[in-house]
Amino acid sequence: MSKVTVLGGCGAVGSIATETLASSGVFSEVTVADMNIMAARKLARTIKGSKLSAVELDAENPQSIRKAISGSSVVLNCVGPFYKYGPTIMKSVIEARINYVDVCDDFDATEKLLAMDDKAKKAGISALIGMGSSPGVANVLVRFCADSLLDQVEAVDIYHAHGGEKVEGAAVVKHRIHSMKIDIPVFLNGEFTTVKLFEDSGRALEEEAEFQDVGTYSVYAYPHPETITLPKYLKGVKRVTNLGLVLPPAYAELIKGMVRLGITDEKPIEVQGHKIIPLEFAVVFILSQRQRLMKEAGINQPMGCLKIVVKGYKDGGKNTYIFSMSSRGQGMGEGTGIPAAIGAILTATGKIKEKGVLPPEACVNPLDMLELAKTKVKAAGGRGFPIVIEHIDKDGKSQRMDLFS
């Protein structure tokens, strides 16, 4: 039995992870670390399971981080946006020689975390990064496909659509804005390159994607880490992309419009004698419109779908596997928080054996993840991973099956 500390444990993702960990029976103590200590204490009182405690966290202060994680066997980091907080937090955890898991979905932060690989190895710890939905489950399912279903993976296209959560924080909106402003990494024709969302290079990747149980939507390029990590672990792959959107589409278009118009700059401007940071205004305005846009779209509950299309060869013939994980009533919190908790459990139980900073495809055994989703998570009242697979063989024949549903 051991102690796990969930950084950002009161957020939409962190709270689900905390609840899953507390009910897993793996940890003797679960600590909720959050900037909002009152909310952390309330959450610790309401969740049943392991002994729960709360501690205040300043994610920008290494001393505060070290105090919060003291005595932990595993630290699960759910503090976003990761481009701002990820490197500082992981550096502090490595220095404390504690095993680490996070849900980092910023590719630029991922590059900085991967650069700490030698430090993590010297500290003798495992740092599993990007263990959410996408990245996270997506990476592991691609690994499963490469190891068990295909002789050679040629292309990986990852699609995601989600929205409808009851609340959405400023950090999530800032992450989306950040993702739209930067160069977006993709792997095309066997080479790493970048595209820009609002230029021809980005528009060339836009397409209509059908999502099981959710609908058909136009998706656009996302700077998720899969495009920079999967090619390093899949020999011979020629294409890796990540496309998605937030629901409803009008909400996604509002965010894109604010970015396109340049209302997301971080340099203060003066408005009627007051210094205003455009980005902070943009975030508040976007969030103020969210409920109205959801109501107009008829979205009154969380919904989402992760879809992974893997193409390659088996016995010389072309084959395609399409993995879909969809839900209504569960959104980003469950889709990211449950895999994150599974990553922490796998780490605590010795299933992550490699040392260093590692993406999911480098260290998570797909069958371990799926079995844990089936047992620990479902036993705790969760749905596990309702994964549907469609296999299209070399003759074009399609067959569908459920996997660990």
Q: What is the pLDDT of residues 46-89, one digit of tens each?
A: 998 779 999 999 999 999 999 999 999 999 999 989 999 999 99
- Residue-by-residue DSSP string for 90-130: HHHHHHTT-EEEE----HHHHHHHHTTHHHHHHHT-EEE--
Q: Identify the three-state secondary structure at position 66.
A: helix
Question: What SS3 string covers 121-189?
Answer: HHHCCEEECCCECCCEHHHHHHHHHHHHHCCEEEEEEEEEEEECCCCCCHHHHHHHHHHHHCCEEEEEC
Residue type, 25: G
Please report the pLDDT score of residue 186 as a whole number. 98
Beta bridge partner(s), residue 85: none
What percentage of the chain has pLDDT greater than the value 90? 85
Average predicted confidence (pLDDT) for the chain:
93
Report how far residue 372's alpha carbon sits from residue 385's, in angstroms, rounded to the nearest whole number. Answer: 10
Give start-end residues of each CATH 3.40.50.720 domain in the chain.
2-132+332-384
Which CATH superfamily is 2-132+332-384 part of?
Answer: NAD(P)-binding Rossmann-like Domain (3.40.50.720)
Question: Quick count: other Cβ atoms within 10 Å of Cβ 147?
Answer: 13
| Cα distance between the two ends of the chain | 28
pLDDT at 99 over 80: yes
Largest CA distance in the chain: 71
Query: Within 10 Å of residue 299's Cβ, how many Cβ atoms?
Result: 17
Torsion angle (degrees, nearest 10) of CA 250, 256, 261, 262: 140
Tracing tokens 């107009």 back to the chain, one arrives at 296
CATH topology of domain 137-328: Dihydrodipicolinate Reductase; domain 2 (3.30.360)
* Separation in Å, CA 219 to CA 131, 135, 162, 193, 222: 22, 17, 11, 19, 9
Whether residue 328 has pLDDT greater than 80: no
- CATH 3.30.360.10 range(s) for the chain read 137-328
Asked if 265 and 279 touch (Cβ cutoff 8 Å), the reply is yes
For the whole model, what pTM was predicted?
Answer: 0.92
Q: Decide the pairing of beta strands 215-221 and 317-328.
A: unpaired
pLDDT band, residue 405 (cuts 50/70/90): very low
